[in-house]
Amino acid sequence: MDFIREHADHQPAAGGLRWGVEPICAVLSEHGVKIAPSTYYEWKDKLPTKRQERDEALLEHIRRVHTDNFGVYGPRKVWLVLNREGIPVARCTIERLMKADGLAGAVRGKVKRTTIAGTGPKPADLVNRNFEPLAPNRLWVADFVRREALVFRMGVRDLHRLAVVAAG
């Protein structure tokens, strides 16, 4: 495989023919080494790309800087430290790698969580997911809508007539 990778797309002389993967595989098969071009391409696709190799090397530096500073440095400060150390890297790359590795800096102040999903009892399903009543005034639904900063609208609908019964 390394032989094919080294010699594929090689031009032996100026203006000469370029060697491709298929002709190289054909010559190797004639000499008893049977390798299909698809096998070479499958092997080539499994090799790490240059970006993946650089990401691994950068991730080691990022983890080192992050742990040396007690895990409080976020992407911006890690980026500043790495550039100061002479490791040129873009800040968006630091952000991407830190997010993928689960690293985050300290957040100043108290983190506010407005919604905590999946906790507490869930309301009962009183209509058993049947939203097609047989007669008027059998099934009403209510909804609250926030339009602007502090303006709320409330509406009640009759699902048989699809009409608004009450609004506020």
Tell me if 114 is assigned to some domain. Answer: no
Same domain, yes or no: 38 and 54: no
CB atoms closer than 10 angstroms to residue 101:
13
Residues 25-31 have a mean pLDDT of 87
Radius of gyration of the chain (CA): 32
Tell me if 115 is assigned to some domain. Answer: no
Tell me if 154 is assigned to some domain. Answer: yes
Condensed to tens digits (0 to 9), the pLDDT of residues 127-151 reads 787 778 888 888 888 877 776 666 6
Tell me if 110 is assigned to some domain. Answer: no
With b for 16 or more beta-carbon neighbours within 10 A and e for fewer, the 19-42 pattern comes to bebeebbeeeeeeeeebebeebee
Same domain, yes or no: 161 and 138: yes
Residues 6+ apart with CB under 8 A from 109: none
Q: How confident is the model at residue 84, as a pLDDT?
A: 97
Structural domain span for residue 7: 2-46
Lowest mean pLDDT among 32-41, 67-76, 80-89, 95-104: 32-41
Output the average pLDDT for the chain: 85
Rounded distance between C-alpha atoms, residue 63 and residue 26, angstroms: 47
Tell me if 13 is assigned to some domain. Answer: yes
Q: Which long-range contacts (CB under 8 A, 24 or more apart) does 21-27 make?
A: none
Same domain, yes or no: 167 and 155: yes
Return the percentage of the chain with pLDDT > 70, whole number.
Answer: 92
Please tell me the total count of domains within the chain. 3
Q: Reduced to 3 DSSP states, what percent helix, strand and coil does the chain have, rounded to the nearest 5?
A: 40, 10, 50
Among 46, 61, 76, identify where a domain stops: 46
Residue 68 pLDDT exceeds 90: yes
- Residue 66, H or E segment: helix 50-68
pTM: 0.48
Tell me if 112 is assigned to some domain. Answer: no
Between 30 and 115, name the one with better pLDDT: 30
Tell me if 111 is assigned to some domain. Answer: no
**Among 82, 41, 74, CA closest to 58:** 82
